[in-house]
């Protein structure tokens, strides 16, 4: 039995999809355990880009099982659209399994997401307006509709009617908005359920049976640790737990069955939306990194905020997610810079701290303390092992590992599969 969890260690967009795709080659089951279609991952296969939001990266391996776990919130409309997209590209989805316990995102969740964000005014948290938060709210309030309910016509209608009474009261009385009719939702979404019915099962049985039978299982996280609702920059976070601990809740696999946690990060930092970002760059260096790194959101298309590598953030992620191995991506983006910087600590009101404060007010006052390293000018996109990197790039990689306190198992110098280089296998 070997199980590996892949988590983002920053604010998402670290390249988890690529690393998951890379590690999937040696896995037999690949599962997602949290989030929804609010996060996108891009996989490049033979030079062709595939952008997915719900379906695990392992779908491109027809001999492997891909699982949408119970901890996810699923928009059936988006899922059917994604399945159609894959079919049109010649990708089979017979290997997909969807948890019957996963919760469903419905149009009223998306509308509520939009209205709540608008009502916040200048205090917007930067939601993707995908209905993720409201769906998790319903789950916690025990009024959510699950995939199992969606497949039963009578139960689906009954629960939909019940929920619309409350939601429409909110829309009309609190937000002065138009109510949603059950006729606008019921038949359309029931039909979506029928289109995905063939994939629906108790995925916890599949995952545990696989592990008990000695198979290799890969768990794929969405977003990143710094967007975790408990451990991230609250309230500028997602509504689920991307940390490795979220696997046990979101997949139905016990903690004793988790072996390794791979933390994925970029050689710099990026963030979409609002919230604290101590190392953010507002100068031409930041603009250069954004353009060279193509830093635009997969889901939103919004320009990402970019900044230097923050080892304070990374140590926080290592601690709360139990990271055992590091995957360092996008080293090539820093090529051509005379100097590269790493944040090693913060200055908070004249005091040096090496932890990430929970208080947003304190974070606003935190100033990054940088260590400067000489840059490199060489094109490294063709490098296939660590020793072939220019000395300065090699020193940068080693310094990142030292500051984070985790050994690097893979590093990448471009978006392609062939540009991901193994230093140490996590499948052991």
Residue 334, C-beta contacts closer than 8 angstroms, at least 6 positions apart: 267, 268, 289, 340, 375, 376, 393, 396
Of the residues 21, 37, 41, 138, which is catalytic?
41
Is 413 annotated among the ligand-binding residues? yes
332 in a labelled binding site: yes
Going from the C-alpha of 291 to that of each of 119, 296, 305, 335, 341, the distances in angstroms are 33, 9, 11, 13, 18
Q: Is 238 annotated as a binding residue?
A: yes
Q: Is 285 helix (H, G, I), strand (E, B) or coil?
A: helix
Q: Position of tokens 């949408």?
A: 68
The answer to whether residue 41 is catalytic is yes
> From CA 428, how far away is CA 4, in angstroms rounded?
10
**What are the E-state strand segments in 106-172?**
none
Q: Which entry of 13, 37, 138, 228 is annotated as an active-site residue?
A: 13
Asked if residue 20 belongs to a known ligand binding site, the reply is: no
Which residues, 6+ apart, have CB-to-CB distance to 310 below 8 Å?
Answer: 10, 269, 278, 279, 342, 343, 368
257 annotated as ligand-binding: no
324 marked as part of a ligand binding site: no
Chain centroid, CA 332 distance in Å: 22
Cβ neighbours around 44 below 10 Å, total = 17
Whether 142 has a binding-site annotation, put simply, is yes
Say whether 331 counts as a known binding-site residue. yes
The answer to whether 381 is annotated as binding is: no
The answer to the question of whether 16 is labelled as a binding residue is yes
Q: State how far the Cα of 98 lies from the Cα of 311, in Å rounded to an integer.
A: 37
**Three-class SS string for 235-266?**
CCCCCCCCCCCHHHHHHCCCHHHCCEEEEEEE
| 103 among annotated binding-site residues | no
Residue 223, annotated as binding a ligand: yes
- 198 in a known ligand binding site: no
Residue 82 CA to residue 88 CA, distance in Å, equals: 10
Establish whether 13 is a catalytic residue: yes
Which of 53, 130, 139, 266 is the catalytic position?
A: 139
Does 299 carry a binding-site annotation? Answer: yes
Q: Which residues are annotated as a binding site?
A: 12-18, 38-42, 128, 142, 223, 238, 298-304, 330-332, 412-414
Q: Which residues are annotated as a binding site for substrate?
A: 298-304
Q: Which residues are annotated as a binding site for IMP?
A: 13-16, 38-41, 128, 142, 223, 238, 302
Instruction: Provide the annotated active-site residues.
Output: 13, 41, 139
Q: Which residues are annotated as a binding site for GTP?
A: 12-18, 40-42, 304, 330-332, 412-414
Q: Which residues are annotated as a binding site for Mg(2+)?
A: 13, 40
């Amino acid at each position: 039995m070997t199980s590996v969890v892949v988590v983002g260690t920053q604010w998402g967009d670290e390249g988890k999809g690529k690393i998951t795709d890379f590690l999937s080659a040696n896995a037999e089951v690949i599962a997602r355990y949290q989030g929804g279609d609010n996060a996108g991952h891009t996989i490049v296969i033979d030079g062709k880009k595939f952008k997915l939001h719900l379906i695990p990266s392992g779908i491109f391996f027809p001999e492997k099982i891909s699982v949408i776990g119970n901890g996810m919130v699923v928009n059936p409309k988006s899922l059917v659209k994604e399945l159609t997209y894959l079919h049109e590209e010649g990708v089979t989805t017979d290997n997909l399994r969807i948890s019957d316990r996963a919760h469903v995102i419905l149009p009223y969740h998306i509308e509520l997401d939009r209205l709540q964000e608008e009502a916040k005014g200048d205090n917007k948290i930067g939601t993707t307006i995908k209905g993720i938060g409201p769906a998790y709210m319903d789950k916690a309030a025990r009024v959510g509709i699950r995939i199992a309910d969606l497949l039963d016509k009578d139960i689906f209608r009954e629960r939909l009617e019940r929920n619309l009474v409350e939601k429409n009261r909110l829309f009309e009385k609190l937000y002065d908005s138009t109510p949603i009719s059950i006729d606008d939702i019921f038949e359309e979404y029931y039909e979506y359920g029928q289109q995905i019915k063939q994939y629906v099962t108790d995925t916890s049985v599949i995952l545990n049976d696989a592990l008990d039978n000695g198979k290799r299982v890969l768990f794929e996280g969405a977003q990143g640790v710094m967007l975790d609702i408990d451990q991230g920059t609250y309230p500028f976070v997602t509504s689920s737990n991307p940390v490795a601990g979220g696997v046990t809740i979101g997949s139905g696999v016990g903690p004793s069955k988790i072996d390794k946690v791979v933390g994925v990060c970029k050689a710099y930092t990026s963030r979409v939306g609002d919230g604290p970002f101590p190392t953010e760059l507002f100068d031409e260096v930041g603009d250069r990194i954004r353009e060279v790194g193509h830093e635009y959101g997969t889901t939103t298309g919004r320009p990402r905020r970019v900044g230097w590598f923050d080892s304070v953030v990374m140590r926080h992620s290592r601690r709360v997610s139990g990271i055992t191995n590091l995957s360092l991506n996008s080293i090539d983006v820093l090529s051509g810079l005379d100097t590269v910087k790493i944040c090693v600590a913060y200055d908070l009101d004249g005091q040096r701290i090496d932890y990430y404060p929970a208080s947003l007010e304190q974070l606003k006052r935190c100033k990054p303390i940088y260590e400067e390293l000489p840059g490199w000018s060489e094109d490294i996109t063709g490098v296939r092992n660590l020793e072939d990197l220019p000395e300065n790039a090699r020193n940068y990689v080693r310094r990142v590992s030292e500051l984070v306190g985790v050994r690097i198992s893979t590093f990448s110098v471009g978006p392609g599969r062939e540009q991901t280089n193994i230093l140490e296998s996590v499948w052991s």
